[in-house]
Chains A and B, each alone.
Chain A
Amino acid sequence: MAPSSAGRTLTAASAVLVLAAAAGCGGFGGGGSSPGGGGATAWALTGGSEEAFRTSFESWNEANPDREIAVEWFANDAYKEKIRTAVGSGQAPTLVFSWAGGTLADYARSGQVQDLSGQVDGATEDLLPSVAANGEVDGGLYAVPNNQAQPAVLYYNEDVLADAGVEPPETLADMMEAVEALKDEGVVPIALAGQSVWPELMWIQYLTDRIGGPEVFQRILDGEEGAWSDPAVVEAATAIEDLVEAGAFGDGFGSVDADSGADTALLHTGKAGMLLQGSWVYPNMASDAPGFVEDGLGHTAFPVVEGGAGDPSNIVGNPANFWSVSSDAPEEERQTAVDYLNEQVYNEEHVQSLLDLGSVPPVAGLEEEIAAQDDPEHLEFTYGMVRDADHFQLSWDQALPPAQAQELLSNLDLLFLGEVTPEEFTAAMDSTL
């Protein structure tokens, strides 16, 4: 079509429309402004400890009708993708939910979240130090925990282990023997959700920690050259290679999906002997197989590695989720958020609602409250683990910057599939530093 007056009008009209739409974009999708002057906003996750969050926000809103917090709820993956764009474009809610680690460091270093040092003592005074430490970036306090601690636990099926005549393993050598005995019984020795990849992280994390201690990963986090080829990581990767070659995870672990609970199903249906998973799988198992959880589910700490330098009390997993306060919010909203953190986070009601969900808040001195619960055994075990841990390692994929975390997951996947050797794995990871 030759340029005509109609064509030019069309172009102009489209341009106006585009501008109007672009201007309109500024108005939606963000944390949104709340009704009252001092009200604030928050985004939180569905599932997991959702009920505890709901109770907590409801009682705040009842007590502070002039400074209500408006909460929006998201599914896990959708949230992770949305929050980063929202924070980056100045549209974040007042209270930013996170996993701490590399993402929190990014937020803090680009000035998107507030330094809360000295302002949130009400929320942090009773916290277990190994958990609280995760909210610190470059000496400032940028996030406070807001729910339960989730260490990775070695679960086992008592009947399956008894049939094979093995005890829960206390050392890596015990574990290799147990693998052989369980294979002879025709079950998968250790269930592993290889399709989801992230459960594989717990193996390399625990093994590296048991062999070399937490300093090994700290050097990786600091970006020291060649930190991945530390002998401890190589030894951990070799142990994984040995386990895979011995058939510890069965032939089909690449098809097992953690999101649909296929790994816990293998354990409670008696098709697998052991499972290394975060304590967050416990509530799901309790609802899927209540009989098994009552009588037949065992739990223990990750085995030690003979001659390893790591403290056997060390644990890995998710210390907790965290709240940060957005720097983009107006002064009044930020004050509301800080007051909320001081008054509501880990107050008596919040702690109790977390315990009712079968999860342990990372707060000191809860022994009595836990003993009073209906089914205190698993709670006491995980609480003891968290309380006594010398070091609580945040999941590596959360601790590292996103690009390195993705490289780690890809290369770990290849290591478990036997497509790369331990040396190739560490060399590939060294190149990401």
Chain B
Amino acid sequence: MRAAPPHRARPAPASGGGPTPWMAAPALVLFGLFALVPLAGVAVLSFASWDGLGAPRWAGADNWVRAAGDPVTREAVWLTVKLTVLCYLFQAPVSLLLGVYTATRTRHREVLAVLYFLPLLFSSAAVALTFKGLLDPNFGLGAALDLPLLARDWLGDPDLALGVVVFVVGWSFIPFHALLYQGGVRQIPASLYEAARIDGASAPAQFLHITLPQLKYTIVTSSTLMLVGSLTYFDLVFVLTAGGPGGATRILPLDMYLTGFRSYDMGQASAIGVVLVAVGLALALGLNRLTGSHRMESRQEGA
């Protein structure tokens, strides 16, 4: 029984390489206008000294030297790395398992799936404000239910705050990644599982030897989005903690914002911004190379 013909017919590329380049014009113009032009502006500004008033003055590499030596910015880099790793370790397994679980078409699972995906519909600011209210030790969930275990100083204790941020970020983004995995699992031909069952493979063995390898590209996509995405967490963390307590959640995007729009040091903030862009691009490209997904070969040969 075959799920699909092994080779789908593809239109042969026209000589000269596909449709006319004009098709890309609207996207390119928008991208240029709203991404490349501001980016170039930021790159130039990172070599200038500007407090938002008057004209920017040329400062050479001054901002870069200061940013590199600033203990707050260094701590922010370290916190960003920590947040990225912790978020990945939390989100990836949970969303993979949730995605696999909800991929099976039984009614109760579909009802659960709808519930799991609800956080995807909420705005970050609303999520952050809600959690801030729920976690308040004086008026939040712990006080309302009279559970001392929950009534801790979640967002006010430097040792707990980062963990809470990881949890709330995960709560917001796991539904999206679970959706990716759910789609991925549903793409796997049923014939593979039938063959495995005939060979007597257990459920965990099927998961390890069929589901996981078949999901390789979904994993790559989801991981790239998670890792690069964690460089840009801003709204959620800003509303939740504003970088506090005592700088315990002042990750790089927040450091950039606070340096630029609270201390009005636009030069150093721009330098941080350029670093963020460079690291993000490098990470995305690196992941792509490392996993070989740029070759985009099929995972369904022989299915």
Q: Within 8 Å CB of A221, what residues of B?
A: none
**A112 located at the interface, meaning its Cβ lies under 8 Å from any Cβ of chain B in the complex:** yes
Q: Within 8 Å CB of B263, what residues of A?
A: 402-403, 405-407
Main secondary structure of the interface of A (DSSP, over half): helix
The 7 A-B residue pairs whose C-beta atoms are closest, nearest first, are A254-B156, A252-B137, A255-B156, A88-B53, A403-B263, A252-B153, A406-B263
Q: Within 8 Å CB of B22, what residues of A?
A: 6, 10
Cβ distance A271 to chain B, nearest Cβ, rounded Å: 6
**A241 located at the interface, meaning its Cβ lies under 8 Å from any Cβ of chain B in the complex:** no
Do residues B258 and A406 form an inter-chain contact, with CB atoms below 8 A? yes
Contacting residue for B53 out of A4, A14, A112, CB 8 A: A112
Given contacts A195-B245, A197-B244, A413-B244, whether A254 and B155 have CB atoms under 8 Å apart is: yes
Q: How far is the CA of A51 from the CA of B25 in the complex (A)?
A: 50
Binary B-proximity of A84-125 (CB < 8 A = 1, otherwise 0): 110110000000000000000011001010000000000000
**B135 located at the interface, meaning its Cβ lies under 8 Å from any Cβ of chain A in the complex:** yes
Cβ distance A102 to chain B, nearest Cβ, rounded Å: 10
Besides A17-B29, A84-B52, A85-B52, 17 more A-B contacts (Cβ < 8 Å) are: A6-B21, A6-B22, A13-B29, A18-B33, A88-B52, A88-B54, A106-B51, A251-B153, A252-B152, A255-B135, A255-B154, A255-B155, A255-B156, A265-B139, A410-B246, A414-B247, A417-B246
Do residues A14 and B139 form an inter-chain contact, with CB atoms below 8 A? no
Q: How far is the CA of A7 from the CA of B52 in the complex (A)?
A: 37
User: In B150-200, which residues have CB < 8 Å from any A CB?
Assistant: 151-158
User: In A7-27, which residues have CB < 8 Å from any B CB?
Assistant: 7, 10, 13-14, 17-18, 21
Do residues A10 and B244 form an inter-chain contact, with CB atoms below 8 A? no
Cβ distance B135 to chain A, nearest Cβ, rounded Å: 7
Residue contacts A-B, CB under 8 angstroms, 5 given: A14-B28, A18-B32, A252-B153, A252-B156, A265-B138
User: In B15-48, which residues have CB < 8 Å from any A CB?
Assistant: 17, 20-22, 25, 28-29, 32-33, 37
Do residues A266 and B53 form an inter-chain contact, with CB atoms below 8 A? no
Cβ distance B129 to chain A, nearest Cβ, rounded Å: 8
Do residues A256 and B156 form an inter-chain contact, with CB atoms below 8 A? yes
Contacting residue for A413 out of B153, B246, B264, CB 8 A: B246
Q: Within 8 Å CB of A414, what residues of B?
A: 246-247
What residue of chain A has the Cβ atom nearest to residue B55's Cβ? A88
**B262 located at the interface, meaning its Cβ lies under 8 Å from any Cβ of chain A in the complex:** yes
Contacting residue for A255 out of B33, B137, B258, B264, CB 8 A: B137
**A1 located at the interface, meaning its Cβ lies under 8 Å from any Cβ of chain B in the complex:** yes
Do residues B245 and A194 form an inter-chain contact, with CB atoms below 8 A? yes
Contacting residue for B158 out of A85, A252, A406, A419, CB 8 A: A419
Cβ distance A364 to chain B, nearest Cβ, rounded Å: 35
Q: How far is the CA of A271 from the CA of B265 in the complex (A)?
A: 41
Q: How far is the CA of A1 from the CA of B28 in the complex (A)?
A: 14
Q: Within 8 Å CB of A402, what residues of B?
A: 51, 262-264
Q: Within 8 Å CB of A256, what residues of B?
A: 136, 138, 156
Do residues B261 and A413 form an inter-chain contact, with CB atoms below 8 A? no
Which of B33, B133, B262, B265 has most A Cβ within 10 Å?
B262
User: In B79-93, which residues have CB < 8 Å from any A CB?
Assistant: none
Q: How far is the CA of A413 from the CA of B258 in the complex (A)?
A: 15
Do residues B135 and A195 form an inter-chain contact, with CB atoms below 8 A? no
Do residues A410 and B247 form an inter-chain contact, with CB atoms below 8 A? yes
Cβ distance B283 to chain A, nearest Cβ, rounded Å: 26
User: In B234-252, which residues have CB < 8 Å from any A CB?
Assistant: 241-242, 244-247
**A162 located at the interface, meaning its Cβ lies under 8 Å from any Cβ of chain B in the complex:** no
**B72 located at the interface, meaning its Cβ lies under 8 Å from any Cβ of chain A in the complex:** yes
Q: Within 8 Å CB of A254, what residues of B?
A: 153, 155-157, 244-245
Do residues A262 and B21 form an inter-chain contact, with CB atoms below 8 A? no
Q: Within 8 Å CB of B154, what residues of A?
A: 255
Q: Within 8 Å CB of A253, what residues of B?
A: 156
User: In A220-275, which residues have CB < 8 Å from any B CB?
Assistant: 251-257, 260, 262, 265-266, 271
Do residues B21 and A13 form an inter-chain contact, with CB atoms below 8 A? no
Q: How far is the CA of A238 from the CA of B137 in the complex (A)?
A: 27
Cβ distance A332 to chain B, nearest Cβ, rounded Å: 25
Q: Within 8 Å CB of B265, what residues of A?
A: 403
Given contacts A271-B138, A406-B262, whether A107 and B53 have CB atoms under 8 Å apart is: yes
Cβ distance B133 to chain A, nearest Cβ, rounded Å: 8
Q: Within 8 Å CB of B155, what residues of A?
A: 195, 254-255
Q: How far is the CA of A110 from the CA of B133 in the complex (A)?
A: 43
User: In B53-103, which residues have CB < 8 Å from any A CB?
Assistant: 53-54, 72
Contacting residue for B29 out of A14, A88, A257, A419, CB 8 A: A14
Cβ distance A61 to chain B, nearest Cβ, rounded Å: 31
Do residues B244 and A87 form an inter-chain contact, with CB atoms below 8 A? no
Q: How far is the CA of A429 from the CA of B72 in the complex (A)?
A: 14
Q: Within 8 Å CB of B137, what residues of A?
A: 251-252, 255
